[in-house]
Amino acid sequence: MHKASDLMNEIGGVFQPKKIYSLKYSQVLQRIGELKRAARVKECGSFLEFGLYDDETVRLSHANFCSDPLCPQCAKRKSLKVFSQVAAVTEKLQSEYVFLFVTLTVKNPTGDELGETCDLLYKSYQRLVDVKRMKFIKGAFRALEITVNRNTMPITYHPHLHCIWAVEKSYFDNDYLPQKELSALWAQALGVKYTPIVDIRLCRNKGFTVNGKVYTKSIKSAVAEVAKYAVKASDYLAGTDDQNEEVVKTLLSVLRNRRMFAFTGIMRAVRQELKLDEIETGDLIHVEADEKPTSAVLVAKLVFSWDSKLGEYVHTGTEIVEEEQNESRTA
Task: Quote the pLDDT of residue 213.
Answer: 54
Q: Which residues are CB-contacts of 236 (< 8 A; sequence separation ≥ 6)?
A: 70, 148, 244, 247, 248, 251
Task: Quote the pLDDT of residue 91.
Answer: 87
Closest of 53, 54, 56, 28 to residue 42, by C-alpha? 28
Give the integer Cα–Cα distance in Å for 161 and 192: 17
Whether residue 227 contacts residue 83, with contact meaning beta carbons closer than 8 Å, is answered with: yes
Closest of 138, 136, 135 to residue 172, by C-alpha? 136
Task: Quote the pLDDT of residue 331.
Answer: 45
**DSSP symbol at 208:** -
Give the mean model confidence (pLDDT) for residues 41-64: 94
- What's the Cα-to-Cα distance from 114 to each of 109, 111, 118, 142, 239, rounded to whole Å? 6, 5, 6, 18, 19
Task: Count the helices and strands in the chain (H runs, E runs).
Answer: 12, 12
Task: Quote the pLDDT of residue 166.
Answer: 95
Query: What global pTM score does this model have?
Result: 0.88
Task: Quote the pLDDT of residue 291.
Answer: 59
More confident residue, 88 or 120: 120
With a cut of 70, say whether residue 83 has pLDDT above it. yes
Give the mean model confidence (pLDDT) for residues 253-258: 92
With a cut of 70, say whether residue 198 has pLDDT above it. yes
Give the integer Cα–Cα distance in Å for 155 and 99: 35
Summarised one tens digit per residue, pLDDT across range 201-236 is 888 655 555 555 555 455 666 677 677 767 888 889
Q: Other C-beta atoms within 10 Å of 278: how many?
A: 10
Strands 156-168 and 97-105: antiparallel
With a cut of 70, say whether residue 94 has pLDDT above it. yes
Task: Quote the pLDDT of residue 289.
Answer: 47
Give the mean model confidence (pLDDT) for residues 143-168: 93
Q: What is the mean pLDDT of the chain?
A: 89
Summarised one tens digit per residue, pLDDT across range 262-304 is 999 999 999 999 988 888 777 899 886 445 555 789 999 999 9
- What's the Cα-to-Cα distance from 223 to each of 80, 228, 252, 327, rounded to whole Å? 11, 9, 26, 38
With a cut of 60, say whether residue 77 has pLDDT above it. yes
Handedness of CA 206, 209, 210, 213 (dihedral sign): positive
Give the mean model confidence (pLDDT) for residues 104-112: 97
Q: What DSSP string runs through 75-121?
A: HHHHHHHHHHHHHHHHHHHTTTEEEEEEEEE-PPPBHHHHHHHHHHH
Q: From the CA atom positions of the chain, what is the Rg in Å?
A: 22
With a cut of 90, say whether residue 135 has pLDDT above it. yes
